Amino acid sequence: MLKAENLSFRIGDNLLIDDVSLTLMPGEFTMILGPNGAGKSTLLKLLSGTETPNQGQVWYGDQPLKSIPLSTLAKKKAVLSQLLSLPFDLSVAEVVMMGRYPYFSLNPTVADNHIVDQCLDRVGMISFKSRPFASLSGGEKQKVHLARVLAQLHRQPTDQSIKYLFLDEPISALDIQYQHQILNLVSSLASQNMVVFVIVHDLNLALQYAHKVILMHEGHLVGMGTPDEILTETTIETVFQLRPCFMTHPQTGRRVMVY
Ligand SMILES: Nc1ncnc2c1ncn2[C@@H]1O[C@H](COP(=O)(O)OP(=O)(O)OP(=O)(O)O)[C@@H](O)[C@H]1O
């Protein structure tokens, strides 16, 4: 379980996160939504330990996040940020191998190489293994970085510990086929004792995939609950200044939104 208590974060005079408390459970696929500048990436950074709150505390299980040694944290938690480019010239396989750095000292083992292949295969990028990373398209880069975080959180069969996965707009550059493929993959990860926290902008994908939705606006948490509880006409109009229209999908019976 991840628990955040009364988090606030400010830069200069800007209060980016204002008294946010939440609980995330392993097994739940949590999506965070909100307009540009709402504070979603900042909250992700606080929950993943990339930034330290000015007030409040984050707990991973019964341990304060700030007390967990970095070497332990690197095997427990992985973050996919919006930054896709890399300052050095690496192959696709080498980028994914970065996810294995916490597990070996000098050289990767046969098992590490196998995990890299497995993770590339899971995101449909195994045939790109030897390509220079810099030569990939935006969507291809996004899939390779996802393989990297999968490699980082790869479990040994005996490992029952809770893992924490943070994805900042992981499907923003993907075509619709891969959007669904990756969200299905992330959903299956959530069911494997993982806390999964994903920022997306597509409210319909949240309606389709999320177990829990967190809606943010101007650094505040507007609501947290099931997509049907939180994504209502009123909240969407308040936060996005657009009145949505809900319809029922003719085949699945699910709620879908049009604008
Ligand atoms: N270093 C900084 N100094 C001042 N303000 C900042 C800084 N970093 C972020 N902000 C501001 O904090 C607010 C929240 O930013 P954040 O990136 O968390 O938003 P977001 O909800 O993830 O937005 P988006 O959907 O556009 O990615 C924004 O208004 C942003 O301009």
Question: Do the Cβ atoms of 134 and 86 come closer than 8 Å?
Answer: yes
Give 221 Cα–ligand 1 centroid separation in angstroms. 15
Does the residue 35 lie in any domain? yes
Residue 98 in any domain: the answer is no
Residue among 17, 31, 41, 217 whose CB has most ligand 1 atoms within 8 A, to mutate: 41
- pLDDT tens digits, residue range 56-94? 999 999 999 999 999 999 999 999 998 777 778 899 999
* CATH, residue 223: 3.40.50.300
pLDDT at 82: 84
**Structural domain total, the chain:** 1
- For the beta carbon of residue 64, count every other beta carbon within 10 angstroms: 11
Nearest CA to ligand 1 atom 24: 36
Predicted TM-score of the model (pTM): 0.94
Please indicate, yes or no, if residue 119 is contained in any of the structural domains: no
List the alpha helices (DSSP H) in 195-232. Answer: 203-209, 227-230
Q: What's the pLDDT tens digit per position in 164-209?
A: 999 999 888 888 998 998 899 999 988 889 999 999 999 999 999 9
Q: How far apart are CA 89 and CA 80, in angstroms?
A: 19
Residue to mutate, 40, 169, 200, ligand 1, most ligand atoms under 8 Å from C-beta: 40
- Percent residues over pLDDT 90 in the chain: 83
Asked if residues 77 and 47 have their Cβ atoms less than 8 Å apart, the reply is no
Hey, which residues does 198 pair with through a beta bridge? 31, 167
Give me the helix-helix angle, 110-122 and 138-152, nearest 10°: 130
pLDDT score for 233:
93
Residue 188 lies in a domain: yes
Residue holding tokens 């507007």? 222
Domain carrying residue 202: 2-83+159-258
The pLDDT tens digits for 207-246 are 999 999 999 999 999 999 999 999 999 999 999 999 999 9
